[in-house]
Chains A and B, each alone.
Chain A
Amino acid sequence: MGTLDYIWMGILSVFQGPELFSILGLPVSVTLVMIFAGFLIGIAVGATPGLAGPIAMAIALPILISVFGYTPDALLPVLGFLIGVMKGATIGGAVPAILFNTPGTPDAFMTTLDGYPMTQRGKAKKALRVAHFSSASGDTFSDIVLFVCAPFLALLVEAYLDLPEKTALLILSLSFIATVIGGSPAKGLISTGLGLLAVFIGTGEDFYPRLSMDSQTLSRGFPISTAILGVLIIGAVLKELQDLWFQKRTSGTVPRQRDEGDQRLHWADIRRLLPFIGRSAVIGTVIGALPGIGSTLAATLGYTVGRSRYAKLKRPDAPDFGKGAAEGIAATEAANSSVSGANLIPVLSLGIPGNAAAVFLILAAESIGGFNPGPSVFRFTADEVNPELVVAFGLFTAMMIANLLNWTIGGVFMRSMGVMVRIPKHILLPSVLLLTLTAIYVQETRMEAIWFTLGFGVLGYLMRTLNISPLPFVIAFILGSKLEDSARQAFAATGGDPWFLFTHPIAAAFMAASVGIILYSARRKTPTL
């Protein structure tokens, strides 16, 4: 089996999987249909303020697992659906940002700055076209980088990193994620510590489940879905409801804007936008490849870099950034969209999730089994087929199909989604809350799981109230067991050397970097005293 054989098998696994129906005698595989469905649902969800891709993933996962079961055949349809949602939600978020000055997803906030002024000038459709073109370009670029870099990085990891180095790399990732997410290193470390503590409750190697306080309820530990959905979804719903309650805003009629003049995107427009898209796509891809740094930062950086270039080149009669410049939309959307593909680089090459969508991909893979994202996936075994590698190339194929959908029907579907913004948030959010709790229950079938989820939801709410990012908590919860297993194995493999993290040069360098990044972040914060 050569590399090309694996790539070809991955492509075939998507197109020749279980057949759902046929068109003119051509079989249509269930994976293709799931990517398509996920993509459309993702756009609708992204276009709905208050919803986001992870919410749709959380609600859909138990249904998908129930439909497809826990077999290796379920992996590509389920992961394909989630990838579709991830990509659809990215472009969908621009719709309410442009039409109604309400970002559908947090990273679309910068899109409102120029998108809504364009709508006010009667250029809504053109703004949507610019957003779609930029988003699809950035997304495709970062996917190509992913396809090239993830296997390469994974091979490097497998070749040069042994158990002590892998343990140190996990510690470095946690330190990095803790200090860069949310803008407060101290709060990031607290969030990480809480996530690690939560995953260690009720687990361990001894007969007595540690930290379970002799309680039968805690002795089995917390199911991963209760922690992730509780902190990420329920916490967000409670905080959003509280904000709505504070605002007490009346749902007044949304002012309607009429489209005026030429709404098409011409080749001249594209040529003008491409430099902005290119720069933002590179920025978004680099940021996305670092675990934990979200698309919001990418959008902000892309916008800032675009603004300084625009200030030098702009025509005197052209609107400024923030006053309805199409280049502003292009810079933002290309940056935030190019994060999504690159975010899967640490997932597939290291097994480290970098954002909420990647967390759900890992959750799905863990629930179904048969695919453990990490460096071992990219073992190009010649004598026998490595099924995980076939799945990995199947995922790449699914991403390319989603990109193709994005370029073809994505724009049309996106422009028809303006109606979603009219669903009142304060009615939508309680329904999302019940949907999430129901999704947990159908997976776990015990009320304890719902109470756990509610408890984690309260924790997530408190974290948001105290400006603590919940993402380090979730990533630490996912990586905690892996860190402990890796440390146990490394300790045993080094003959019980308690200094195994410091006696191997690469591991020691990772540990020094972990301490260094925390100290650097702390120093950087000192002037705020």
Chain B
Amino acid sequence: MKKKVVSDRRHILARRLGFVEKGLENRTTGRAFPEGQWPILGFKPIGDFSFVRQIEYRAEQLGIEDICSFDFSVRRLYEIQHRVVAARGRGGLAGRGDNQGSKAGLAGRGIAQGPVEKEREPKAVFYDAETTGLSSGTGSLVFLLGLAWTDGEMVRLEQYFLKDFPGEVEYLLSVKKRLEDFGLFVSYNGKSFDSHILETRFLMNRMQYRMGSQLDMLHIVRRLWASVIGSCTLQDIEEKVLGERRHEDIPGYEIPDRYFLFQRSGDWKTVRDVILHNERDVLSLIKLVHLVWKIIDGKREEVKRIAFDKASFGHYMARAGEPVAHRYLLEAHEAGGMKAGKLLSLQYKRMGEWDKAVEIWKTMLERKSLFAAIELAKYYEHRARDYERAISYVREVSRWNMPADKRTRGELVKRLKRLERLKVKKERPG
């Protein structure tokens, strides 16, 4: 009787899970790793279940001419990102040249934690993790972590590999030991993904580790290229921006399954491509940082052939209060971009360069910009005190016959009433 119940359950399970035949074929439960098959690609064991691989590159191999200025550019990029985030918190543009915020930020989380505090500048590390899950949560593990940093004229790369689950504690301990050398962590989408998973792993093993300051290149890259090339995975950027093609690369979504296959078979060849993929990702990240800095730095000769979204990038830089924003916004405005015009005019407005601002609004008005009409009405009401002109701009809007939400309509009507009143008052003698 008992047996019957069990087989019933098996039957139900088999149907539910839908992989019974396949699953049984591949059954390799509990099999040990094949003896004598040593890891490939120069991995060295650092524990029973963890391995590390070290490689060196000369800087010029990665297209970096000057390591010092490269290091500087990483810190500058971090500052820019930090100021944009801070500006978002304040709900506006940075602009007014306050750099204090960024310095405080870098000192804040990153340096205060580690021994780096005493040094002058935090050391940057480029990182990329390969995980067993495509989403975060406590069931995703980091099994491969690629790190790279500059050292003299060299770029050093290290990859930490976890062979099986029980080795996670020793794996994390050696990873932590290395990570503590650094105070600035550069990644591509690592701020919201890789670093979270890594921190979760420490907690799951009853340890504490929090990464320091993060420079996540995804944000600025989206500003630069999302509207130009669409999808912005690191592979897309490599191919369409850096102009490099990967041969024999493995698509990201296949990585977890390769690792599980490796765990079952113990065959290092199944993860070879994953390891090379990770190495490549870290190196591409370095090249990407280098390229983005050239665009910001304004060395346009070298980056001329690369198309990017000037309005969006200009906006980003404006929020960071970078002077380079102005040039890109102007170019975008001249090419007909409304958003660029808006941002640019607001910059002029803030700087008190009213003529320039008004000129932009008038150009935008021809393109039926509600924003421009309202700004012009405001300008003529409060600055020029020419109520008649102000009224004419509000009236202009009603002629466009465009749908506006209740609030905007209400505001326009209110403004118009006030202007009429002011006009009468002004005309009344005495």
A and B interact physically: no
- Seen from chain A, the residues whose Cβ lies within 8 Å of a Cβ on chain B are none
